Amino acid sequence: MAVLLRRVRPEDWRPVGVNALEANALKVVRSTDNRSVIAGPGAGKTELLAQRAAYLLQTGEAPPARRILAISVKRDAATNLASRVRQRCHRNHAGRFDSMTFDAFAKGLIDRFGQALPDRWRPRPDYEIIFPNDRDYRDFLYQQAGTPPSSVGTYADLQGIAVKTFERRHLVGTPLPLGGWSYPTVGEWAAERLWQRSLHEGKKSVLSFPMIGRLAELLLRVNPMARDALRLTYSHLFMDEFQDTTQVQYDLVRTIFHGTDTTLTAVGDNKQQIMRWAMAMDDPFAAFDVDFAGKRTPLYNNYRSSPELVRIQHVLAQALDTRAVAPVSQTTGTIAGDSCAIWDFSSPEVEAAYLAAFVAAEMRKHNLGPRDFVLLVRQKASDYAVVLEPAFNAAGIPLRNEAGTVGAVMLQELLAEEASELAIAILRLAMTNRAGRYWTESQEALAALQGITPDDEAAQSRLARELDAYAINLSKSHPTPPKSNAAARAIIDDILSFVGRDRLIAVHPAYGQGGWLEKVLDAAAVHLYASSVSGGDWSTALDAYEGVHAIPLMTIHKSKGLEYHSVIFIGLDDGAWWSFANDQLEATAGFFVAFTRAKQRVIFTYCGRRGARSTIAALYGLLEKAGVRTYKMT
């Protein structure tokens, strides 16, 4: 697609890379006021943000001296949006678009300005990130907190605090008071104790992401210079998957942007709210519409799924929201037979072999790649991988557990890390044929790290010569992929010293903190070696590193915002959905998210050995209502 550098007049601007946008989407793209867009799956909400970025950047409606900030709840959503904008905009324009997660945004603020926090709330610069669970809070409340002073309450009062809601209600429940709580309740007293312990009493400060979010909000509340800098920097703010926003994140946004000239656009789908366990607000859209005078604008199309799948989706949608309006599919069905079915297997082994053969045959029949399919599970993907992996390998399709970890890093996270992306681009450029795309990628990334602007021709050509010379040397010294972990690490280190460790840290502050860069480099080396053991050439090893020829296996949570030709959901049973009765709405929303990732087909599998189907009878009931049939597979 042609991307424009010259300025376009707003009235002449046309959507980029799609034929048309529905009327309401176009209104939001061109809007100058705050908007909330609640629309169903596949309605093009992420696409709308990408188009709005193109519009604002290409017309100059986002003034050239300012930038657009897009914040998402999850990392995949942030990278997905950034890559859509890069495809649609000239790199000079896309360079003014910052897409990141809430967590990365808050952490970036603490890493840059955190030392300006008052003593009471100031973390040490080498703080560590932790992911506490209920047991940690129980240990703290019952064993470590001590006894509150009598003016606050008794030990029994302390024990009366519900462990499950301590974090949400007390620890990060409200914005932090600058001077501490003056007349604390027992919950506030316990929260203050844990804050002080986490910040000051260990060898290092230890902080969870919600705590970092609260510190960032305090920082900007008491530091008008930092707050004004952000307000001036960003003319527009986008928030994707807004239904999953937490109170901590919302308060941070409100502190920075409330009452400013920054225009906000929030998009999401209440029916896909599956993060309540992770402290998502009950109704962030309602708060947004009140606080920011957000104008609600619905969308009616579905650009992802076939008409038959959209029909079934609507039956599920009504179970989540009786007022849901039937969307209009804008695509056509391309497969024969059932668009959705339940396959009932006698054993997980029979199931694995059948699915592998099925996927292999479908790939041939419809000219699809392994990444057009996804194997979805509710949780514990590695348990399923044990049985599925050998069967898919035997059918010639490697399986990749996206939730698997390499060293200290989750695989999916590693692949999106700048250090890993850059190393792979440089390796592709040096070691493989037809590497033009990687040449451009490496050159652009290095230029950004060195602060070389696209129009500085002299510096660009110097960089190009250095990159060429380095790539030639690298391929001479490593004609084959590494044969040990140490060899892989040496290659990664070599690339890093060419790129410049300090430069990388300067541009990505997260790398300068808590040993994260070391962890990423370690993981990259371990994964590079693991991808090389098959003994193939560099191209094969790098394809394996990126999982180009592998079918992904992931949980529903990981699949948010993604889409596939065919979704195979493994294990529609009480075992996987053990908590169904506790929160039926959230579980049904998860089911809805899984279903709506498919463009053409959804297969659910069942196997009696994994569990019954009585607790989740309601889900089976919905499928039955939609006319979905069950087949006994022997």
Indicate the residue among 371 and 519 with the shorter CB distance to ligand ATP.
371
Distance CA 578, CA 571 (A): 12
Q: Is 40 annotated as a binding residue?
A: yes
Strand-pairing partners, residue 44, are none
**Least distance in Å: CB of 340 to ligand ATP?**
17
Indicate the residue among 267 and 377 with the shorter CB distance to ligand ATP.
267
Q: Are 48 and 79 in contact (CB under 8 A)?
A: no
Distance CA 225, CA 113 (A): 11
Distance CA 65, CA 591 (A): 44
Indicate the residue among 273 and 442 with the shorter CB distance to ligand ATP.
273
3-state DSSP assignment of residue 161: coil
Which stretch in 42-50, 112-120, 369-377, 517-525 sits in contact with ligand ATP by CB under 6 A?
A: 42-50
- Stretch 151-190 residues interacting with ligand ATP (CB under 6 A): none
- Residue 148 lies near ligand ATP (rule: CB under 6 A): no
Q: Binding residue for ligand ATP (CB under 6 A) from 24, 35, 44, 78?
A: 44
Strand order in the sheet with 35-38: 97-101, 67-72, 234-239, 263-268, 35-38, 295-296
Q: Is 43 annotated as a binding residue?
A: yes
Q: Would the CA dihedral through 158, 164, 170, 176 be positive or negative?
A: positive
Distance CA 560, CA 76 (A): 8
**Least distance in Å: CB of 591 to ligand ATP?**
14
Q: Binding residue for ligand ATP (CB under 6 A) from 24, 36, 45, 482?
A: 45
Which stretch in 39-47, 108-116, 180-188, 442-450 sits in contact with ligand ATP by CB under 6 A?
A: 39-47
- Stretch 47-106 residues interacting with ligand ATP (CB under 6 A): 47
- Residue 590 lies near ligand ATP (rule: CB under 6 A): no
Q: Is 42 annotated as a binding residue?
A: yes
- Residue 222 lies near ligand ATP (rule: CB under 6 A): no
Structure token digits, residue 506:
């300067």
Distance CA 421, CA 424 (A): 5
**Least distance in Å: CB of 280 to ligand ATP?**
15
Which stretch in 34-42, 440-448, 516-524, 550-558 sits in contact with ligand ATP by CB under 6 A?
A: 34-42
Q: 3-state DSSP: the chain helix, strand, coil percent, rounded to 5? A: 55, 15, 35
Indicate the residue among 482 and 561 with the shorter CB distance to ligand ATP.
561
Q: Binding residue for ligand ATP (CB under 6 A) from 41, 114, 348, 590?
A: 41
Exposed/middle/buried for residue 182 (C-beta within 10 Å: 0-12, 13-18, 19+): exposed
Exposed/middle/buried for residue 562 (C-beta within 10 Å: 0-12, 13-18, 19+): middle
Q: Binding residue for ligand ATP (CB under 6 A) from 28, 29, 43, 176?
A: 43
Q: Is 625 annotated as a binding residue?
A: no
Radius of gyration of the chain (CA): 25
Indicate the residue among 230 and 594 with the shorter CB distance to ligand ATP.
594
Indicate the residue among 18 and 626 with the shorter CB distance to ligand ATP.
18
Q: Is 45 annotated as a binding residue?
A: yes
Structure token digits, residue 38:
């609640």
Residues 460-479: b if buried by 16+ CB within 10 A, e if exposed: eeebeeebeebbeebeeebe
- Spatial CB neighbours of 74, under 8 Å, sequence gap ≥ 6: 101, 241, 244, 560, 561
Indicate the residue among 378 and 565 with the shorter CB distance to ligand ATP.
565
Residues 19-53: b if buried by 16+ CB within 10 A, e if exposed: eebbebbbebbbbeebbbbbbbbbbbbbbbbbbbb
**Least distance in Å: CB of 40 to ligand ATP?**
7
**Least distance in Å: CB of 83 to ligand ATP?**
11
Distance CA 40, CA 589 (A): 12
- Stretch 451-480 residues interacting with ligand ATP (CB under 6 A): none
- Stretch 595-624 residues interacting with ligand ATP (CB under 6 A): 596
Distance CA 345, CA 608 (A): 8
**Least distance in Å: CB of 439 to ligand ATP?**
27
**Least distance in Å: CB of 24 to ligand ATP?**
11
Chain position carrying tokens 């509340």: 221
Q: Binding residue for ligand ATP (CB under 6 A) from 304, 565, 601, 613?
A: 304
**Least distance in Å: CB of 267 to ligand ATP?**
7
Q: Is 54 annotated as a binding residue?
A: no
Q: Is 571 annotated as a binding residue?
A: no
Structure token digits, residue 238:
């986008």
Distance CA 121, CA 331 (A): 53
- Residue 42 lies near ligand ATP (rule: CB under 6 A): yes
Distance CA 44, CA 57 (A): 19
Which stretch in 3-11, 37-45, 253-261, 538-546 sits in contact with ligand ATP by CB under 6 A?
A: 37-45
H/E stretch holding 538 reads: helix 538-546
- Residue 269 lies near ligand ATP (rule: CB under 6 A): yes
Q: Are 283 and 52 in contact (CB under 8 A)?
A: no
Indicate the residue among 47 and 389 with the shorter CB distance to ligand ATP.
47
Q: Binding residue for ligand ATP (CB under 6 A) from 97, 303, 595, 606?
A: 303
Indicate the residue among 312 and 397 with the shorter CB distance to ligand ATP.
312
Strand-pairing partners, residue 38, are 268
Q: Are 42 and 211 in contact (CB under 8 A)?
A: no
**Least distance in Å: CB of 27 to ligand ATP?**
13
Q: Binding residue for ligand ATP (CB under 6 A) from 46, 101, 306, 555?
A: 46
**Least distance in Å: CB of 278 to ligand ATP?**
18
Q: Would the CA dihedral through 174, 180, 185, 187 be positive or negative?
A: positive
Q: Is 523 annotated as a binding residue?
A: no
Structure token digits, residue 592:
């809805």
**Least distance in Å: CB of 597 to ligand ATP?**
7
**Least distance in Å: CB of 201 to ligand ATP?**
43
Q: Mask 506-545, x = binds ligand ATP (CB under 6 A)?
A: ----------------------------------------
Q: Write the DSSP symbol of residue 124.
A: P
| Cα angle for residues 276, 281, 285 (degrees, 5° grid) | 125
- Residue 561 lies near ligand ATP (rule: CB under 6 A): yes
How many residues sit close enough to ligand ATP to count as binding (CB under 6 A)? 17
Chain position carrying tokens 């709580």: 181
Measured at CB, which residue is nearest to ligand ATP?
44
3-state SS record for 86-110: HHHCCHHHHCCEEEEEHHHHHHHHH
Q: What is the largest CA-CA distance in the chain?
A: 74
Which stretch in 43-51, 122-130, 287-295, 367-375 sits in contact with ligand ATP by CB under 6 A?
A: 43-51
- Residue 482 lies near ligand ATP (rule: CB under 6 A): no
Applying CB under 6 A, the residues found at the interface with ligand ATP are 18, 21, 39, 41-47, 269, 272, 303-304, 561, 563, 596
**Which residues does the annotation place in the binding site for ATP?**
39-46
**Which residues does the annotation place in the binding site?**
39-46
